[in-house]
Amino acid sequence: MTNEIIIAGFGGQGIVSSGIILAHAGMIEDKYVSFFPSYGAEMRGGTANCSVVISSDPVASPIVANPNIMIVMNEPSLARFEPTVQPNGLFFFNQTLIKSKPTRKDITIIPVEANAIAEELGQGRVANMVMLGILAKKTGLLKLETLKKAQRKRFTKANKEQLELNDKALERGYALL
C-alpha cells in the first residue's frame, strides 16, 4: 500500500519538519519512504510544502502530484491544493486559521482546530504536531509512539520540555477521533 501525502502552509508552521517526522516514522516502522520539500523564497512566512511517500513497496519517485492524504495549515494552501487530492482522499485542514471551507464532495474532509489546541497546550507552534497526531489516528498509517520517537530524531537540540510538549500535541491530535 502506498500513501502519498502533501503538507502545506507557510514557513514557520513546521511544514517541512512534519514531513521529516513522517518520513523518519515510516523508516522506524520499516516502510519505504521519500521526502521532498518545497520552500517559498522567504522561508519563515513564505509558502512551504512537502511531499512524503510512505509505502510497503519501493518508492519510484518523491514527487507527489495527486496525494491521497493532504494536510493544509493556511488559507492559500486550501485554494492551491484542494483540487489536487485524489477522489476518496483525506483532507485535513487547520480550521483555526482557515476560514473558507473545502468544497469537494468526493473527499473526506477533517477540520482540526490545530492552532487553538496548540495554544491551549501553551505554544501555537505545535499545531503541526496536533495534525500529525490526528493523521496517525485516522489513517492507521503510523503508530503514535513511532511519531514520538521520530520527533526526537528531528529535534535533537530541543529541550526536554519542548519534546514533552510535542508529545502532548501528538496525543491531543490522536485523541480527536
Q: What percent of the chain has pLDDT over 90?
A: 93
Q: What percent of the chain has pLDDT over 70?
A: 97
Segment 145-155, tens digit of pLDDT: 999 999 999 99
Dihedral (Cα; 159, 142, 99, 79), 10-degree rounding? 110
Q: What is the pLDDT of residue 45?
A: 64
Q: What's the whole-number mean pLDDT along residues 84-91? A: 98
Please tell me the distance from the alpha carbon of residue 67 to that of residue 125, in angstroms, as a whole number: 25
Return all residues near 141 (Cβ < 8 A) that are at least 6 apart.
Answer: 3, 54, 69, 135
pTM of the model: 0.96
Residue 99 has pLDDT above 90, yes or no: yes
DSSP 64-117: -SS-SEEEE-SHHHHHHHGGGSPTT-EEEEETTT--S----SSSEEEEE-HHHH
Q: What is the pLDDT of residue 39?
A: 77
Q: For the chain, what is the largest distance between any 2 Cα atoms, rounded to a whole number of angstroms?
A: 43
DSSP-assigned beta bridge partners for residue 55: 2, 32
Give CATH for domain 2-174.
3.40.920.10
Cα Rg of the chain (Å, integer): 15
Query: Is beta strand 69-72 parallel, antiparallel or unpaired with respect to 108-112?
Result: unpaired
Q: What's the whole-number mean pLDDT along residues 161-167? A: 98
Segment 104-156, tens digit of pLDDT: 999 999 999 999 999 999 999 999 999 999 999 999 999 999 999 999 999 99
Name the residue ranges covered by the structural domains of the chain.
Answer: 2-174
Residue 47 has pLDDT above 90, yes or no: no
Does residue 71 contact residue 22 with C-beta atoms inside 8 Å?
no
- The arrangement of strands across the sheet holding 32-39 comes to 32-39, 47-55, 2-10, 69-72, 90-94, 108-112
Does residue 54 contact residue 6 with C-beta atoms inside 8 Å?
no
Q: What is the pLDDT of residue 68?
A: 98
Average pLDDT over the chain, rounded to whole?
95
pLDDT band at 11 (very low <50, low <70, confident <90, very high): confident
